[in-house]
Chain A
Amino acid sequence: MKRLMSGNNAIGEAAVLAGCTCYFGYPITPQNELPEYMAKRLAAVPDGVFIQAESELAAINMVLGASVAGARAMTSSSSPGISLKQEGISFLAAQELPAVIVNMMRGGPGLGNISPAQSDYFQATRGGGHGDYKIIVLAPASVQELADTTALAFDLADMFRTPVMILGDGMLGQMMEPVTFPAKKKERHLAHADYVLTGAKGRPARLVKSLILDPKEAEDHNWKLYRKYQRIEQQEVRYETFMLDDAAMAVLAYGTAARIARGAIKRLREEGLKIGLIRPLTLWPFPNKIIQDTAKHLHDFFVFEMSTGQMVEDVKLALEGKARVHFYGRPGGVVPTPVELSRIISRHYYQSQKRKK
């Protein structure tokens, strides 16, 4: 059955249906509806735990504690709050603990504002905290996708024993859309549960830590993590394309920006402009291959972000100079309309067509 739900609430329901029993968070707009929903919803779940922590740092470390004890745990925040959680995320990555972190981005830097923005691409995809690590970053673009992505995030976190971030924004969190959920609650299949601390009765004690004083041992640990990240890069890249086959220009955008881009492209197609879309669903691992393959047929890539330009760097890295990269950014919480964006794309399109002649 379809329900009209806000993105924040849909994540909460999807998390509970995915077997999440522990939520820890600290309030910040525009994601407050998620902890509000979890407070009510987890009270009705056997062994459900909801704690409004005293700070973001406390919340992320509670997630760590619940995760190492074998629970499916999540936390959520918005940009400045995620900055605070980065230390804990680094610890989760180092100790190879599954966790789901939701970031409903807002305008920054600093305290910024509460409007939708995409300014946390770097802090999400570059590991964010200290040390050599990466986390899986998922970028849904609708309330239904937020729900589906939440279930996926928990599975990926378990499969690779890694923190996973869902990167949304204020608009996705606040907006209501029809959404359907799986009819049945999913059972958790934890393939490698040999790390979980359950009390060492009848078995040798287990140790989960990130302090490795011996540099050689620490180097081995880093390479082990690196190999895991390579495996993720090989297996878990996800993206979507739209009208790309005959395109002369490819637009790249994710999340809310991709929705706006799709609307703009539909308009431009009606005017006969051959423009397609590549929408990364995983921001890390980044869909390099489809970009490289597309560059064999066309030479103009147009990146649109609600920031001054962050993902555009990954596009340039993927292309290695083999195509021209155009960029349009709207930082600070401004959400342009599809009409506005279509005008900008069309200008770049005609300029590059002219250059070809």
Chain B
Amino acid sequence: MLIKTIFSGFGGQGVLSMGNTLANAAMLQGKYVTYLPSYGAEVRGGTANCTVAIGDEEIASPVASEPDFVVSMNQPSFLKFQSTLQTGGLILVNSTLVNVAAARGDIEVIEVPTSELAEKLGSIRAANMVMLGAFIKVSNLVSFQLMLKNLPEILGEGKAKLIKINKEALEAGYNYIKE
């Protein structure tokens, strides 16, 4: 098994930390994992993205030219990355900001009102974790329970104050997706 996911959105939406959090969770579950941030000459307000590859054996290339999943937090990244998906691929979008009228007909689109759910929790900045929770429910790439248990370790030093809100956000996204 080798699953590649592209996380994308505005710089500042926590797109890179979404990927980083997932990669850390996968590592703690003993998976092979690579995390590759985009480091191009980006502009303020432009798109940021990262690629996470998770597998059961050594990962040859951390680049995904045809990802299995795409997560898009804003309109430009939705338009940019939906075209990279394989037929039958799955894209999760932040429906608060993304208009999916222009979605391809051969892919599955899952809309999560990420920013709205985060605002309800009292922190728009947790929108990325709401999305990550939804993504984990949909993709089933890592164990959600194990991830919550190890959240302090995954988020790293100096984030102790943010564990509660991150946990709530992850759960809000996870529970938003119905079976």
Contacts and interface: CB of A to CB of B under 8 A. Distances in A.
B63 A337 contact: yes
A335 interface: yes
A30 B35 CA distance: 15
A268 to B, nearest CB: 12
Nearest to A179: B27
Contacts of A178: 27, 33
A176 interface: yes
Interface stretch (B37-45, B94-102, B134-142, B166-174): B37-45
B33 A114 contact: no
Contacts of A30: 39
A221 interface: no
Interface of A: 2, 4, 29-30, 114-115, 170-171, 174-178, 259-260, 262-264, 266, 335, 337-340
Nearest to A178: B27
Contact of B35 (A2, A4, A264): A4
Contact of A338 (B20, B23, B39, B60): B60
B36 A262 contact: no
Contacts of B35: 4, 175-177
A176 B27 CA distance: 11
Contacts of A171: 36, 62-63
Contacts of B63: 171, 335, 337
Given A4-B23, A171-B62, A335-B61, 19 more contacts: A4-B27, A29-B39, A30-B39, A114-B39, A114-B41, A174-B39, A175-B36, A176-B20, A176-B34, A177-B34, A178-B27, A259-B60, A259-B61, A262-B60, A264-B60, A266-B60, A335-B63, A337-B65, A338-B61
B62 A175 contact: yes
A5 to B, nearest CB: 10
A340 B60 CA distance: 13
B144 to A, nearest CB: 19
B31 to A, nearest CB: 9
B24 interface: yes
A340 B66 CA distance: 12
